[in-house]
Structure 1
Amino acid sequence: MFAVYAESFSPDDPLSALRLGERPDPEPAAGWAVVTVRAASLNHHDVWSLRGVGLREEQLPMILGCDAAGYDEDGNEVVVHAVVSSPDWVGDETLDPKRSLLSERHQGTLAEKVAVPRRNLVPKPKSLSFEEAACLPTAWLTAYRMLFTQAGLKPGDSVLVQGAGGGVATALIALGRAAGLRVFATSRDSAKRERALELGAHETFEPGERLPARVDAVMETVGRATWSHSVKSLRPGGTVVIAGTTSGANPDNAELTRIFFQQMRVQGSTMGTRRELDQLVNFLDITGVRPVIHDTMPLERARDGFAAMIAGELFGKIVFTR
């Protein structure tokens, strides 16, 4: 089968480690199913894999990709949940110490077929296209968990989304607005601020700019560059949910005094559960909210998609189709 995979690592030039070509068809273990992939989306995780983060050389070659939508062996339309927990794990899959993602221990989704545990399959409603559904299992699920599970936000609450433009940030804005939140967003790029307004943000700001009022929660995926502003923008007793550190993990000022004195909560968040993915899919089915897709291209053009992500030229998701 045709697939996109890592054959080596290159921390400085990840595209040089990318390969496109034939790989063996998956051979599912007991309790696993083979999904015929119709669409798969790209994540920063895939670029980090090419850099050698989260993979060891003995695991190569590794088919990349966490997200997919397609048909199961019975012809049902499904969305693939990317978190693979231990066979005997019960409860929140993201808390399993032995959990992994597709394309870490198990071959990924950027291929004609992928093998996954049967329990990882979520029904895809007819209202969602395969391309839209393929955007959900990583970026959109991460956003859903951040807003509603970890921050516990409800209609009428306010939220700041740092770094509008990426897959998680655009999902946070769209989901937040659809759920009745007051949404603020930041970006260094004026065009991305304008797109964020079109997507549903009530107001946008340059990084570090003072907000009209302190918010109930801040969604933080940028890290060092925005951390101090995130804490300063939060009301007493509010919550910062952190799910990424794209600008670095070590802020110049951790704002510890402000955090303890104003009794703020710092909450980590990673991916989401199968149940949350099912809830997210139903949320989109009911509300009509749809993922922002930057570009759709055949899997054979995967190198172009990776190049765009590495260059930071995206607003929304890159989706590959078969």
Structure 2
Amino acid sequence: MLAAYAARLNPSDPLAALEVGDIDPPKAPDGWVRVSVRAAALNHHDVWSLRGVGLPEDRLPMILGCDATGITDDGHAVVVHSVIASPGWVGDETFDPKRSLLSERYPGTLAEQVWVPAANLLALPEGMPVDHAACMPTSWLTAYRMLFVQAGVRPGDTVLVQGAGGGVATAAVQLGAAAGLRMWVTSRDEARGERAVELGADAAYGSGERLPARVDAVLETVGAATWSHSIKSLRPGGTVVIAGATSGDAPDHAELTRIFFQQMRIQGSTMGTRRELEQLLAFVRSRQIEPVIDSVRPLDQARDAFAAMIDGDVFGKLVLTAG
């Protein structure tokens, strides 16, 4: 079957580690369900995998991809939840120390077919386009959990999103605006900031720019480059929710004195649960939110999509279609 997969690992040139072509279908664990993929979305997780982060060489070749929507063999249209809990785990699967994402231990979704546990399938909401649904399981679910589970904000509160333009950032802006939050964004690129305002952000500021007021919460996925600004922008008692560190995880200044003296909360967040994905899909459908999609390409053009993500020339999600 056609797939985009990591054939090797290359920390300095991830595109050199990518292959797009035919690969034998994987052997699935007993009881898993086959899904014929209709649409799948890229995430930075896929690029990190090509670099060898979280993907050891002994698991190669590994089909990439966490997000997908498709059709089961019995004809049901489904959305795939990519957090795979260990057998017997009960409760929030993001706390399972043996959890994995599709494309880490088990083959991922950037293929014509993917196999997943039946419990990881949700019904595709009626009327939701498949390319929209394919955006939901990773970046949109991450943004949903950050905002509505971890941040502790209420309608009318102000939330700062560091780094406008990425999948999580655009999702957070759209979700927060729909929920009655005042959403502010930062960006090194003025045009990206303007686009975020068009999506529903109340204001956009330059990276590191002093804000007109302190915010109730900060959504942080950039890491070292924006950490001090995040802490300095937060009101006393506010919350920084961190779900990534694309610029590195070792800021020049940890801001510990400011954090303890102003009693700030630092809250980690990772992906989301199946139940939260179900809630997200319902919220997006009820509020008629259309996720920002940078481009939609057929699966055999996956290399071009990866190149765009690696170059950073993306606003919103990159979607690949199959079948």
TM score, norm. by length of structure 1: 0.98
* Structure 1 match to 2:167: 167
* Structure 1 match to 2:13: 13
SS at 1:296's partner residue?
A: strand
Q: Identify the range of structure 1 (152-161 vs 101-110) with the bigger mean alpha-carbon deviation.
A: 152-161
Per-residue deviation, residues 269-300 of structure 1 (Å, max 9, x unmatched): 01000000000000011000121100000000
Aligned: 1:188 with 2:185:
no
* Structure 1 match to 2:48: 48
Residues 119-198 of structure 1 mapped to structure 2, 5 A cutoff: 119-198=119-198
- In 2, the alpha carbon distance for the partners of 1:52 and 1:28 equals 23
* Structure 2 match to 1:63: 63
Q: Identify the range of structure 1 (68-77 vs 279-288) with the bigger mean alpha-carbon deviation.
A: 68-77
Per-residue deviation, residues 23-67 of structure 1 (Å, max 9, x unmatched): 223443233111110000001111111111111111111000010
Q: Identify the range of structure 1 (55-64 vs 303-312) with the bigger mean alpha-carbon deviation.
A: 55-64
- In 2, the alpha carbon distance for the partners of 1:221 and 1:25 equals 34
Identity %: 67
- In 1, the alpha carbon distance for the partners of 2:72 and 2:277 equals 17
The answer to whether the 8 A contact 1:26-1:113 is kept is no
* Structure 2 match to 1:73: 73
Aligned: 1:87 with 2:87:
yes
* Structure 2 match to 1:202: 202
* Structure 2 match to 1:248: 248
TM score, norm. by length of structure 2: 0.98
The answer to whether the 8 A contact 1:79-1:124 is kept is yes
Per-residue deviation, residues 1-30 of structure 1 (Å, max 9, x unmatched): 111111111111111111111122344323
The answer to whether the 8 A contact 1:132-1:290 is kept is yes
**TM superposition shift of 1:223:** 0.7
- In 1, the alpha carbon distance for the partners of 2:80 and 2:161 equals 27
- In 2, the alpha carbon distance for the partners of 1:90 and 1:111 equals 30
Runs of 5+ consecutive residues of structure 1 not aligned to the other structure: none
- In 2, the alpha carbon distance for the partners of 1:25 and 1:53 equals 24
Per-residue deviation, residues 87-141 of structure 1 (Å, max 9, x unmatched): 2000100000000000000000000000001100011112211101001110000
* Structure 1 match to 2:222: 222
- In 1, the alpha carbon distance for the partners of 2:187 and 2:316 equals 14
Opposite residue 43 of structure 2, the aligned amino acid is N
Number of residue-to-residue matches in the alignment? 322
- In 2, the alpha carbon distance for the partners of 1:213 and 1:72 equals 50
How well do the aligned residues superpose, as a CA RMSD in angstroms?
0.9
